[in-house]
């Protein structure tokens, strides 16, 4: 019996990780219709469930009333509070291990959460790890000495654009703007993006372009950033479609879905030349050093003024986004499910 943990889909403020988790759970439902999904219980606090799991007072199997006399496999689409029976196989989807590589990018509260959830131990306990990129797979081997045969590369797919709706903008709809999409936080280099844009504004090439952050405020978020805290999926696609470019020079990413989403509507991206996004996008984006605000500023200026390069990157990004298809993700996940039986 396959049990899939769907608790993360009910988070009040979904993130990119939530979107990827949703993709994999929907594919599992297609491939294994008999799968039992663990969802938050009505009338029961999530905190109480987490406490029961971390203290080993209950198991994932017990929460879904799975028979004790059957063999089970639990699919975990992200890091969470988990406890399973000793004979249960565990498949863990790994988006990244930034909480191990660079814990200082997280608030003390989030770091404590990773400790309480036994995040590292659960990665070591898993029978199969699904890494969303080669970069993440390599870090699992290097940092945790996970054997290569236990790791399956299972990239997510580019979501299909949906009907668009213009959100309430903090500037005129006719204004050219650069978009920074995702939680405003230290790890995503939000402060660096803001500094770089201020440098760009002092250049002779600046013609009134705006910088717009879209996403909730996180650890280390710049306080003076022009932002929209939340937008609907329809509004997100409008913002991606109409932006001059997506700015995504994160210090650390395990995959990098937003540049593919931007590419799906023909919008080029500026990305960091470190970690996974350069693997995800290849030559289909403008790469910069995320630790150099002046280099980021020069990249912004290039995308603002070089129409030929802008058009080339737009075409490359569109083609690159098409390469990450749902069919490929489904085939990768099918191999994982066959491996666990």
Task: Note whether 151 and 20 are same-domain residues.
Answer: yes
Least confident of 6-15, 93-102, 166-175: 6-15
Helical pair 293-305 and 190-201, crossing angle rounded to 10 deg: 60
Same domain, 7 and 113: yes
The answer to whether residue 76 scores a pLDDT higher than 90 is yes
How are strands ordered across the β-sheet holding 36-38?
36-38, 2-5, 73-76, 89-94, 128-131, 151-153
In-domain check, residue 259: yes
What pLDDT score was predicted for residue 234?
96
100 lies in the same domain as 19? yes
pLDDT the model gives residue 14: 76
Instruction: Identify whether residues 143 and 188 lie together within a single domain.
Output: no
Could you tell me the strand order of the sheet in which 210-214 lies?
A: 227-228, 210-214, 177-181, 245-248, 269-272, 286-288
- The pLDDT assigned to 199 comes to 98
| pLDDT at 109 > cutoff 90 | yes
Structure confidence by residue, pLDDT tens digits, 10-64 = 877 778 899 999 999 999 999 999 999 999 876 566 888 888 999 999 999 999 9
230 falls within a domain: yes
On whether both 73 and 92 belong to a single domain, the answer is yes
Q: 132 with 40, same domain? A: yes
- Indicate which CATH number applies to the domain containing 225: 3.40.50.2000
Judge contact between 34 and 81, C-beta under 8 A.
no
- Helix count (H) and strand count (E) of the chain? 14, 12
Q: Quick one: 56 and 147 in the same domain?
A: yes
Distances (CA, A) of 280 to 23, 102, 158, 268, 284: 17, 21, 11, 14, 9
Does 232 lie in the same domain as 302? yes
314: helix, strand or coil: helix
- State mean pLDDT over 206-230: 93
Residues 235 and 144 in one domain: no
Residue 8 and residue 14: Cα distance in Å, rounded?
8
Q: What is the mean pLDDT of residues 117-129?
A: 96
Domain count, the chain: 2
**Is 168 within a domain?**
no
**244 found inside a domain:** yes
Asked if the structure places residue 162 within a domain, the reply is no
| Average of per-residue pLDDT across 257-274 | 98
d(CA 302, CA 318): 19
DSSP states of 276-301 as a string? THHHHHTTSSEEE-TT-HHHHHHHHH
In a domain, 92, yes or no: yes
Identify whether 164 is part of a domain: no
Q: Is residue 171 part of a domain?
A: no
* Distances from the Cα of 291 to the Cα of 36, 119, 189, 254, angstroms: 45, 28, 9, 18
- 40, 34 Cβ separation under 8 angstroms: no
Q: What does the pLDDT read at residue 40?
A: 84
Per-residue model confidence as pLDDT tens digits over 283-309: 999 999 999 999 999 999 999 999 999
Asked if 214 contacts 181 with a C-beta cutoff of 8 angstroms, the reply is: yes
Are 182 and 224 in the same domain? Answer: yes
Could you tell me the two tokens for 185? 């936080």
Is the overall model pTM greater than 0.85, yes or no? Answer: yes
- DSSP character at residue 50: H
Q: What is the pLDDT of residues 172-181, one digit of tens each?
A: 999 999 999 9
Whether residues 15 and 136 share a domain: the answer is yes
| Cα(249)–Cα(278) distance, integer angstroms | 10
Element (H, E) at 75: strand 73-76
pLDDT given at position 43: 58
Mean pLDDT of the chain: 95
The whole-number pLDDT of residue 44 equals 64
* 61 and 44 assigned to the same domain: yes
Domain interval for residue 209: 177-323
State how far Cα 114 lies from the chain centre.
Answer: 17
Rounded percentage of the chain residues whose pLDDT exceeds 70: 99
């Amino acid at each position: 019996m396959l049990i899939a943990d769907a608790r993360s889909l009910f988070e009040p403020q979904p993130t990119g990780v939530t979107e990827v988790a949703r993709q994999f759970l929907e594919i599992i439902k297609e491939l294994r219709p008999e799968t039992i999904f663990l969802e938050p219980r009505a009338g029961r606090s999530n905190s109480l469930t987490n406490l029961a799991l971390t203290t080993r007072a209950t198991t994932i199997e017990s929460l879904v009333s799975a028979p004790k006399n059957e063999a089970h496999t639990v699919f975990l689409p992200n890091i969470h509070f988990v406890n399973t029976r000793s004979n249960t196989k565990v498949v863990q989807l790994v988006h990244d291990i930034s909480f191990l590589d660079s814990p200082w990018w997280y608030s003390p509260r989030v770091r404590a959460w990773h400790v309480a959830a036994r995040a590292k131990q659960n990665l070591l306990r898993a029978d199969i790890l699904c890494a969303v990129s080669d970069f993440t797979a390599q870090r699992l081997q290097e940092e945790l000495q996970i054997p290569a045969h236990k790791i399956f590369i299972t990239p997510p797919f580019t979501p299909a654009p949906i009907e668009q709706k213009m959100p309430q903008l903090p500037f005129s709809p006719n204004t050219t703007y650069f978009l920074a999409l995702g939680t405003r936080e230290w790890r995503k280099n939000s402060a660096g993006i803001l500094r770089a844009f201020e440098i760009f504004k002092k250049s002779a090439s600046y013609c009134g372009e705006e910088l717009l952050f879209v996403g909730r405020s996180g650890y280390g978020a710049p306080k003076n950033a022009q932002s929209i805290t939340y937008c609907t999926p329809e509004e997100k696609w409008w913002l991606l479609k109409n932006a001059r470019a997506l700015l995504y020079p994160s210090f650390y990413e395990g995959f990098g879905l937003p540049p593919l989403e931007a590419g799906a509507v023909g919008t080029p991206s500026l990305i960091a030349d470190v970690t996974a996004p350069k693997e995800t996008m290849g030559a289909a984006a403008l790469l910069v050093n995320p630790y150099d605000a002046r280099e980021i500023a020069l990249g912004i200026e290039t995308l603002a003024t070089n129409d030929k390069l802008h058009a080339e990157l737009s075409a490359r990004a569109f083609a690159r986004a098409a390469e990450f298809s749902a069919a490929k993700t489904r085939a990768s996940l099918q191999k994982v499910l066959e491996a666990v039986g």
